[in-house]
Amino acid sequence: MAYQSFEELEVWKKSRDFKNEIAQLVRTFPTNERLRLSDQLIRSSRSINAQIAEGHGRNTWPDKIRFCVIARGSLSETLNHLIDALDEKLISEEQLKYYRIKITEVEKLLNGYINYLEKRAKEK
């Protein structure tokens, strides 16, 4: 298999799109949430991409897998923050439903990538 940049990974592309959507969303939040929930949503959604990229750059299969598992945790953290946004009436039930669908899409790709990495690790 030829070398593939992390930027070519479908999971990284989808999580990048998701991160950008979250960045757009938090721009609609009131100013008093900028240093609270907005910041947490930005950080957790950015972490998904960052962890995938960092894992991609690691030399061992266990390291690659570990960073993808951390990315999956950041995805769950982002969902939790979105639920907080719902509780604070910053987003609607419909918006949360939309973001849950996006999160599920990224999660499926991430789980598939983790499974691929685990298979590769067993081959070595």
45-55 tens-digit pLDDT: 999 999 999 99
Report pTM: 0.93
CB atoms within 10 A of CB 84: 16
Per-chain mean pLDDT for the chain? 94
Instruction: Check whether 75 has a pLDDT greater than 80.
Output: yes
83-110 tens-digit pLDDT: 999 999 999 999 999 999 999 999 999 9
Helix, strand or coil, per DSSP, at residue 8: helix
How far apart CA 50 and CA 44 sit, in angstroms, is 10
Quickly state the pLDDT bin for 3 (edges 50, 70, 90).
low
Average pLDDT over residues 10-14: 97
Instruction: Check whether 1 has a pLDDT greater than 60.
Output: no
User: The domain 8-123: what is its CATH number?
Assistant: 1.20.1440.60
Whole-number pLDDT of residue 2: 55
Find the Cα–Cα–Cα–Cα dihedral 16, 22, 23, 26, rounded to 10°: -170
**Both tokens assigned to 78:** 């982002």
The ranges assigned to domains in the chain are 8-123
